[in-house]
Amino acid sequence: MPYILPAHRMAFFFSPKAGGTSLRAFLFHAENGFAFRDFLVQGHRMDANKLTANYRFNRVDHGALEGYRCFALLRDPVRRFLSGYSNRVLHYRELSIEAAGQDLLREGLPPDPDIATFVDNYIGYLRCSKPLARHFLKQQKFIGPDPAHFERIFRLEELDELVAFVNGECGTQAKMPRLQTGGPKLDFFALDEDLQLRILEICQHDIAFQIFPEYWGPYVHLVEDEMVGDAAVSRTGTAG
C-alpha cells in the first residue's frame, strides 16, 4: 500500500530510490507528532522502510482507498538509476558473490560490476537479484500509468513543496529527514558519453519524463547530438 494518513484521507504513492524512505519517516512525523527513529521489536530492528511496503500499483487495494486524496512523488529517472546502482550494487553489494553468486555464475557475469559493466549487462544482472530488479522498475510500476489518478504529483528535487503542502494540510510542523544515502554520488556527465546514451536508453520510457518534460532538459542535447550523428553517417553512406 502507499503510505496513508487516514485522519486526513490522504494516500502517498512512491517508488524505490525516489525518496520513499525519507517520505515514510516524514509522513510518520506528520501523523504522530514526533520524529521517527529506528526501534527494536523483540530484537528485530525496525527502520522507516518497515512502516509500509510500497507494492506495485496493480497490487494495491484501491477499493480501500476510495474517497482518499492521492498524491505521488517522482524522481529524475537518470538520477534514480544512478542512485539505484550506487546504493544497491556498490553500498549493499547485492551483486556480490555472497549475495548472488549462483545466479551470477548462471548468467556468466562478474560480481560487483562497475557502472559500465552493469549497464552493458543490465538485464542479466537484474535476473541475478529480485530485490535489485525491483529497485530498477520504472516508476509507473508503482504510481500507475495515469497521472490523472493523483490530485498532485511532486518532484523529489523540490521536496520543500511537498513538506509545506503536507504540513499545511495536516496542521503540523513535520521535518523531512534525508535517509537511505549509502553509496558514492555518481556524476552522470562525468561518464563516457556512450555510457550516458546507454543509460538514457534504459531510462527513457519512465513515466516521469512524460509527466515532467523538464526532466529531459539536462539530457536532450545528447539525444539531439546522437540524431545528428546518425544522420551524418547515413548521408556519408549514401554518398559513398
Predicted pLDDT at 10: 98
Half-sphere exposure of residue 77: CA atoms within 13 angstroms, side-chain side? 26
* Whole-number average pLDDT of the chain: 92
pLDDT at residue 1 in the model: 79
Question: What angle in degrees, to the nearest 10, is found between the helix axes of 77-84 and 193-203?
Answer: 110
Output the nine-digit C-alpha cell for 170: 495536516
In this prediction, residue 223 carries a pLDDT of 82
Taking only the tens place, the pLDDT of each residue in 159-203 is: 999 999 999 999 999 999 987 667 899 999 999 999 999 999 999
Q: Is residue 238 one of the residues assigned to a domain?
A: no
Nearest to 75 by CA among 182, 165, 160, 153: 153
Instruction: Say if 218 falls within a structural domain.
Output: yes
Q: Could you identify the residue written with the cell 536532450?
A: 220
In a domain, 57, yes or no: yes
- Specify if 239 maps to a domain: no
Contact assessment for residue 127 and residue 133, using Cβ atoms and an 8 Å cutoff: yes
State the CATH number of the domain containing residue 99. Answer: 3.40.50
Please give the Cα distance from 149 to 85 (Å, whole number): 30
Residue 240 has pLDDT above 70, yes or no: no
The tens digit of pLDDT for each residue in 77-88 reads 999 999 999 999
Containing structural domain, residue 90: 3-233
Tell me which H or E stretch contains 127: helix 122-127
The string of DSSP letters for 141-159 reads HHH-S-GGG-SEEEEGGGH
Supply the pLDDT for residue 67: 96
Structural domain includes residue 49: yes
What total number of domains does the chain contain? Answer: 1
- Residue 240 falls inside a structural domain: no
Q: 513543496: which residue's cell?
A: 161
Evaluate if residue 227 carries a pLDDT over 70.
Answer: no
Separate counts of helices (H) and strands (E) for the chain: 11, 6
Residue 79 is assigned to a structural domain of this protein? yes
Domain annotation covers residue 190: yes
C-alpha of 97 from chain center: 25
State the Cα–Cα distance between residues 199 and 207, nearest whole angstrom.
Answer: 16
Would you say the C-alpha torsion 209, 214, 219, 224 has a positive or negative sign? positive
Instruction: Return the percentage of the chain with pLDDT > 70, whole number.
Output: 92
| Model pLDDT, residue 226 | 66
Q: What is the 3-state secondary structure (H, E, C) of 41-89?
A: ECCEEECHHHHCCCCCHHHCCHHHHCCCEEEEEECCHHHHHHHHHHHHH
Q: Residues 92-142: pLDDT tens digits? A: 999 999 999 999 999 999 999 999 999 999 999 999 999 999 999 999 999
Q: What's residue 230's pLDDT?
A: 52
Considering only residues 48 and 99, tell me which one the structure prediction assigns the higher pLDDT.
99
